[in-house]
Amino acid sequence: MTKVKNQVDTCDVFCYDEEKVTRVSSMIEAENLSPVAGIFKALADETRLKIAYALCQEEELCVCDVATIIGATVATVSHHLRHLRSLGICKSRREGKLVFYSLDDDHVEMLVTTAVVHGREVGVRE
């Protein structure tokens, strides 16, 4: 006897609300979502997410601090920080022989911390 799963993630019939679809479609088409996708793609890498989360905890950290915190080499951290900086996720400043990084703005911090909190909540449900 074959058991069939109850599919709760699809509709039993295909129909849509034309007004909602038209409104939302035009909103999506009006936005340039490529930069947003780039941010999420960058933060999908666990090392870069750890770096961004570390930067949420302190105003700024030098490359050596970040490397020590996440348990990676300075070269690896520098590579990832350059990528995050190129996407506008973080910024840097040089002080003598040290380079300090911080998040670019409050939006990035909010995005990362919200994702971490959501991850905790999802983890509790599993």
Which domains are assigned to the chain? 34-125 (1.10.10.10)
46-57 and 106-125 helices cross at what angle (nearest 10)? 120
The model's pTM? 0.83
40-67: average pLDDT: 97
> Tens digit of pLDDT for each residue in 6-24?
667 888 889 999 999 999 9
